[in-house]
Structure 1
Amino acid sequence: MTPLVAKLLYGLCMIAWWVIRRPFERKSKRNVLLRDAMDVREKTLLLISLTGLGVIPLAYIATGFPKALDQGFSPLRAVAGLLVFVASLVLFYATHKALGRNWSVTLAVRAEHSLVTGGVYRFVRHPMYTAFWMWAIAQALTLQNWVAGPAGIIGFGLLYLLRVGREEALMRETFGTAWDDYAARTPRVIPFLS
């Protein structure tokens, strides 16, 4: 494993993420929105996350900038990062599959929205966030640069910290005690941790 191979494989994983998401994105547009929280705050958080998990790593892969901030390359660390990314893609797909027509990129409630508690949702309330955390960790391991590596953790971390409470409030408002019961027995993002 070389730094170039690690970057190229990481880039392929990013493409795989888009390939997984695209069909679900198209299908979800057909389902009527009853409530959408796409406001300035939500747009800003999505842009910050996209910058950390998308723009900065793609720029680094394409240009190598900022090369001066590269870390000493560890092939083992890069392989571990790519394995974590592949695992995150598997979880990402399983999450989309479980959500089906309920999926939305924003905080939204759709017509005929149902509380999904099966599949990967048996283990955590927010497996999509778990998949994104795994992606951010994979980025830090694979792109061994002091800017590109941690950019995903910072970008997605801000979205997560400022969004998850708001999302849970929306679920509580929509599903009431069914949500409360589910939340009481299911960890937020890490399986088997209360």
Structure 2
Amino acid sequence: MFMALAPGTVAGVVPWWLTGWQAGGWGPAPRLLGVLPLVGGVVVLVHAFARFVTEGLGTPAPVAPTEHLVVGGLYRYVRNPMYLAVVAAIFGQALLLARPVLLGYALVAGGVMWAFAKWYEEPKLAATFGEEYERYRRAVPGWLPRGRAWRA
């Protein structure tokens, strides 16, 4: 339910509200390129959410947090793959629909996610998982994926 509610609202409802899914007038090349980040974002989002359920034994929702720190799968490359996936999906929609307003929205949404991660999630994870999280945080970047998988 959380997956449909939070990312579904940010990457689905708000873009629809901003555009009504009405396409703009760009040519076909940039519009077709939009499919890649849109589909990629959805795939990454589903994969990352599944890691929370299977590895963390919980959800990304603050009301049902994980029992274990999630550091496998895509989380070996970057600490915030879900947020990056949502921004990628919005960016893909901006290209696909040829709607610059969604490019601006992607930047704003990304900034809000960065702030939430920085000022809520990171302190909460440090308090919950202590040195395990600090070791992970030092080894894996938050926003720019590393080239090689981190080995715990």
Indicate whether the TM-score tops 0.5.
Answer: yes
In 2 relative to 1, CA 88–132 (structure 1 residues): closer, same or farther, beyond 3 Å? same
Cα RMSD, aligned residues only = 2.8
SS in 2 for 1:170: helix
The answer for the alignment partner of 1:61 in structure 2 is 20
How many residue pairs are counted as aligned between the two chains? 141
TM-score by length of 2: 0.77
TM-score by length of 1: 0.62
1:56 shift after superposition = 4.2
Conserved in 2, the CA contact under 8 Å of 1:130 and 1:190?
no
Provide the rounded CA distance (Å) in 2 between the counterparts of 1:189 and 1:163. 13
In 2 relative to 1, CA 55–97 (structure 1 residues): closer, same or farther, beyond 3 Å? closer
Is the counterpart of residue 130 in structure 1 residue 88 in structure 2? no
1:125 shift after superposition = 1.0
Structure 1 gap ranges (5+): 1-17, 26-45
SS in 2 for 1:161: helix
Letter in 1 for 2:90: A
Q: How does 1:36-55 map to 2 (within 5 A)?
A: 50=9, 53-55=11-13
Provide the rounded CA distance (Å) in 2 between the counterparts of 1:89 and 1:53. 10
Q: Which has the larger radius of gyration?
A: 1
Is the counterpart of residue 104 in structure 1 residue 60 in structure 2? yes
Provide the rounded CA distance (Å) in 1 between the counterparts of 2:70 and 2:108. 27
Conserved in 1, the CA contact under 8 Å of 2:78 and 2:141?
yes
Name the % identity.
25
Provide the rounded CA distance (Å) in 2 between the counterparts of 1:177 and 1:164. 18
Is the counterpart of residue 172 in structure 1 residue 129 in structure 2? no
Runs of 4+ aligned residues of structure 1 deviating over 6 Å after TM superposition are none
Conserved in 2, the CA contact under 8 Å of 1:91 and 1:127?
yes
Q: Which moved more, 1:168-177 or 1:183-192?
A: 183-192
SS in 1 for 2:31: helix
Provide the rounded CA distance (Å) in 2 between the counterparts of 1:185 and 1:108. 27
Aligned with 1:190 (options 127, 144, 147)? 144
Conserved in 2, the CA contact under 8 Å of 1:125 and 1:189?
yes
1:78 shift after superposition = 1.2
In 2 relative to 1, CA 153–99 (structure 1 residues): closer, same or farther, beyond 3 Å? same
